Amino acid sequence: MPSSRLLLIVASCAFLAACRQDMHDAPRYEPLEASTFFADGRGSRTLVANTVARGMLREDEHLYQGKVDGQLTDTFPMPVTTEVMARGRERFNVFCAPCHGRTGQGNGMVVQRGFRAPPSFHDERLRTAPVGYFYDVQTNGFGAMSDYAAQVPVADRWAIAAYIRALQFSQRATVGDVPPERRAELDAPAPQEAR
């Protein structure tokens, strides 16, 4: 008799476990599904007016638009360090060099394959452009260049703009621009880059 009672308890537990509802099968509205719950008949709710998702306010005009008082800025919103320059070089080589070339002359690989050449960063117009201009073009695109806001984060766009400035400076630099304590390095053989 006790074994039949035990068998009945085990069978009842198995039956009740089979009746459970998994979380992946929970009752819910699918996106844009009709609903009788809301008066407008929609299951999805519209966003509350005048709300901004956390972290998306972006009210710092200098950082997010490259402008100060509505004008393109010639200053950076953060200190330009060696790490920022290294990151700018790396991101430039990934996103910009295919069109602009590694030195910014506008002779990248896609240009060599027949695509339209972008202007050289060393043209007078771009050498005198405020640094906010380079940030703005990366963010919003210009002419044949599409925007890179989705692919390149804000800090990386500023790092690329800093690296572009360094490229521009490098093409017109003189020995007098090199600090005296580093001039001996000019005659040293260049280190081989890893390939």
Rounded to whole angstroms, the Cα distance separating 66 from 72 reads 6
Lowest mean pLDDT among 64-73, 126-135, 161-170, 177-186: 177-186
Tokens describing residue 136: 């703005």
Average pLDDT over residues 46-64: 88
Length of the chain (residues):
195
Q: What share of the chain is helix, strand, coil (3-state, %, to 5)?
A: 45, 5, 50
CA 63 centroid distance within chain? 13
Domain 78-171 fold is Cytochrome Bc1 Complex; Chain D, domain 2 (1.10.760)
In the chain, where the domains are located? 78-171
Greater confidence (147 vs 27) lies with 147
For the purposes of burial, counting CB atoms within 10 Å of the CB of 28, is it exposed (0-12), middle (13-18) or buried (19 or more)? exposed
Rounded to whole angstroms, the Cα distance separating 137 from 157 reads 10
Helix (H) or strand (E) holding 65: helix 61-65
Sign of CA dihedral 45, 48, 49, 52: negative
pLDDT of residue 191: 73
Average pLDDT over residues 122-134: 97
Share of the chain above pLDDT 70, in %: 90
pLDDT of residue 195: 54
Rounded to whole angstroms, the Cα distance separating 102 from 94 reads 10
Greater confidence (24 vs 149) lies with 149
Please write the tens of the pLDDT for every residue from 61-80.
Answer: 999 999 999 999 999 999 99
Angle at 168 between CA 63 and CA 69, to 5 degrees: 30
DSSP at 78: S
Greater confidence (63 vs 186) lies with 63
Please write the tens of the pLDDT for every residue from 30-39.
Answer: 878 888 888 8
Average pLDDT over residues 138-153: 95
